[in-house]
Structure 1
Amino acid sequence: MMEKYQLTPVEHELMEIIWKLGQGTVRDVIACLHPTRHLAYTSVSTILRILQQKNILKAVKAGKQHIYQPLLSKETYAAHSVKNMVKQVFAGDSVNLVAYLVNKNDLSLDDIQAIQTLLESKKKELGK
C-alpha cells in the first residue's frame, strides 16, 4: 500500500475524532479533544489541512469555515497499519503476530474463548 496512509501520532489523534464524528470543523475537533489535551486552533487547523493535502480528508467550505470529512476509512487505515506492522515487525508472518499477542498479553478465559470462536468461524468460512 501507499505511504499516504502513514499518520503521525497527532494526525491519528485528530483522525480518530473525525472518524467518530463522521465530519467536523476545527472547533468540533477541538471540542472533542481530551480535557488535558491543549492544542491551539491554528495547530488543529494546520494538521487538518495537512491531512487534506495527504488526501485523507476533504474539506467542504461552509461560510467562513471548512467541514472536514474523511476520505480514508478507519477500517482501511487499520488494515493498512496491521499489514504494515506484520511485514515490518513479524517478517510478514501473521502467525507470529497472533502468537505474540496471545503470549504477551494477560488473556482471560473469556478472551481465549472469543479467540477460539473467531478461529472456528474462520475455519468454517474457509471450508475446513
Structure 2
Amino acid sequence: MSEHLIKPTEGEMEILQVLWKKGECTVREVFEELNKKDIGYTTILKIMQIMHEKGMVDRNTSAKTHIYKALLNKEHTQQHFLNKMIDTVYNGSTARLVMQALGNKSASREEIDLIKEYLEKLEK
C-alpha cells in the first residue's frame, strides 16, 4: 500500500508517535509510554494489529514478544496532516494557523526566536 494513501486515525497517530520516538517497541512498551488509564492494553494490541494489516507498522514475530516499528515516514505523515488541517480548518491560510497557534499557547522565548530565525530565512 502506498504511504500517501494511508491515513492514520488519532489513536494510530498516538501509537506512531511512540514508535517514531523509540524506534522499535513491544505492545507493552507502547501501552506504558501512552500511560492511558482509559485505553486498555488489549485495545492498544488490537489497534497495532490493525495498523500492521494496513501496512503502517512492521511486526517482528521471531521472538515470543512481538516487536513493532513504524513503516510510515514521520515527516511525510506530519506534513500530510498539517496540509489537511490548513486546508480544512483554516481555509488554506497558513498565516491563520500560525496566528491561532501562537495566540492559544504561550510560546517560549526560544521558540519565538526559532520562528523569527525561520521567517528571516524564508524572506531571503
Whether TM exceeds 0.5 here: the answer is yes
In the alignment, is residue 53 of structure 1 matched against residue 53 of structure 2? yes
What is the alpha-carbon root mean square deviation over aligned residues? 2.5
Residue 45 of structure 1: how far off its partner (Å): 1.4
TM-score (norm 1): 0.76
Deviation at 1:68, TM superposition (A): 0.8
Which letter does structure 1 place at the counterpart of 2:121? S
In 2, Cα distance between equivalents of 1:60 and 1:5: 23
Q: Deviation at 1:74?
A: 2.2
Aligned residues between the structures? 122
SS of equivalent residue, structure 2 residue 24: coil
Indicate the residue corresponding to 2:44 in structure 1.
44
Letter in 2 for 1:44: I
Q: TM-score, normalised by structure 2?
A: 0.78
Of the two, which has the highest radius of gyration? Answer: 1
Partner of 1:93: 93
Determine the C-alpha separation between the residues in 2 that align with 1:7 and 1:47: 10
Could you tell me which residue of structure 2 aligns to residue 16 of structure 1? 17
Q: Which amino acid aligns with 1:77?
A: T
Instruction: Name which of structure 1's ranges 40-49 and 109-118 shifts more when overlaid on structure 2.
Output: 109-118
- What's 1:69 paired with? 69
- Letter of the aligned partner of 1:75 in structure 2? E
Q: Give the percent of matched residue pairs that are identical in Structure 1 and Structure 2.
A: 29
